Chain A
């Protein structure tokens, strides 16, 4: 049955309309959760606001369980959907560069687009910087990045299979770890905010 567009059940125009509608939901929720405020985002690294961690893991676990069940009961063919291939070296290096981008700039691309749209000038500047960064990458691709980007290729790797456990067990463990993390960070946040008398 699913996914509906890749299996030709719905047409291209409806697919793009759905993209727009799903985007509205995503953007609305990011804004409503406070992700247009760069100080709330950076808080995850300094202990005064863990909203990023709470939203991020709740979303990933909800989607992970939902997609697993859809696939398990045969409602969605996982082979037809976008499945990021693993290139562990460039993902690790690129991720570390993104960590610097996050700590210094206070946004990631999705949150900066939301914040820029709502008028935050620092976010508009961040989006501008990101576009320049992509231009720089594109024009130096052959000389600087191409070999690194293709290194460490592992193909499509499922983390549960890679660890040698079932997907259901992996999702269960991930949920338990997240629940413990939610409990601990809530305590940390209370202490940090009290100690520094922190106001956003």
Chain B
């Protein structure tokens, strides 16, 4: 079997991710996240380009109002830099590094990329409205038994099953 098709046992991977989640909470009091780092990137970029706008606008001002705060140096940014390094390390070990578009054979590259961009756009909006994504809100929320995490779980995965039929041509 091709080495690049070999994956870690999912229960072991999940158990170990759970241990890292415990470590994140025990050492830093933080959950594992992803969309929060993207938001920080957007906030920092906007602050660099248009500080006067950012310090007045409703969405931005809670992050950039105090002048000494550097919004980029956050726990989540460092965590996501680690995520990038860890993913590259694993992909290098298993022989999965390399430029490619992953898609079912019957889908054109163009369709896959348009779908990926649209899905990203929706996930970006949804994660802000929902106060976090699958990791930062659902998985971290579930870890501390927050009701919010379980509502998010039902909305994202339950919602996914409700609509999967209508988008099946993208995948099967």
Tell me the bound Cα distance from A146 to B133 in angstroms.
Answer: 18
Contacts of B137 in A (CB 8 A): 84, 91
* Contact call B26/A54, Cβ cutoff below 8 A: no
- How many Å from the CB of B145 to the closest CB on chain A? 5
* Contact call B139/A99, Cβ cutoff below 8 A: no
* Contact call B86/A31, Cβ cutoff below 8 A: yes
Indicate if B84 sits at the interface (CB-CB under 8 A). yes
**Contact among B30, B57, B142, B157 with A99 in the assembled complex (CB-CB below 8 Å):** B157
Contacts of B22 in A (CB 8 A): 62-63, 66-67, 70
* Contact call A84/B81, Cβ cutoff below 8 A: no
Question: Interface size for chain A: under 10, 10 to 19, 20 to 34, or 35 or more residues?
Answer: 35 or more
Contacts of A109 in B (CB 8 A): 34-35, 38, 123-124, 127, 133-135
Interface string of A160-184 (1 = CB under 8 A from B): 1010000100110000000000100
Contacts of A6 in B (CB 8 A): 28-29
**Contact among A10, A103, A114 with B167 in the assembled complex (CB-CB below 8 Å):** A103
Indicate if B88 sits at the interface (CB-CB under 8 A). yes
* Contact call A33/B8, Cβ cutoff below 8 A: yes
Tell me the bound Cα distance from A133 to B145 in angstroms.
Answer: 29
- How many Å from the CB of B167 to the closest CB on chain A? 5
* Contact call A159/B150, Cβ cutoff below 8 A: yes
Contacts of B89 in A (CB 8 A): 24, 27-28, 31
Using a CB-CB cutoff of 8 Å, which residues 21-73 of chain A contact chain B?
21-34, 36-40, 42-46, 48, 51, 54-64, 66-68, 70
Using a CB-CB cutoff of 8 Å, which residues 10-54 of chain B contact chain A?
10-11, 13-35, 37-39, 41-43, 46
- How many Å from the CB of A97 to the closest CB on chain B? 3
* Contact call B82/A121, Cβ cutoff below 8 A: no
* Contact call B121/A142, Cβ cutoff below 8 A: no
**Contact among A58, A70, A75 with B14 in the assembled complex (CB-CB below 8 Å):** A58
* Contact call A23/B58, Cβ cutoff below 8 A: no
* Contact call A70/B26, Cβ cutoff below 8 A: yes
* Contact call A87/B142, Cβ cutoff below 8 A: no
Interface string of A83-119 (1 = CB under 8 A from B): 1111110111111111111111111111011110111
Using a CB-CB cutoff of 8 Å, which residues 129-171 of chain B contact chain A?
129-135, 137, 139-152, 154-164, 167-168, 170-171
Cβ contacts A to B, 25 pairs, < 8 Å: A2-B25, A22-B27, A23-B79, A25-B23, A27-B89, A30-B13, A33-B13, A61-B18, A63-B21, A63-B25, A84-B140, A84-B146, A94-B152, A95-B156, A98-B130, A98-B159, A106-B115, A109-B35, A115-B102, A125-B113, A126-B119, A129-B119, A133-B121, A136-B125, A160-B145
Chain A residues at the B interface, C-beta cutoff of 8 Å: 2-6, 10, 15-34, 36-40, 42-46, 48, 51, 54-64, 66-68, 70, 75-76, 78, 80-88, 90-110, 112-115, 117-123, 125-139, 141-142, 145-146, 148-149, 154, 156-160, 162, 167, 170-171, 182, 196, 198, 200
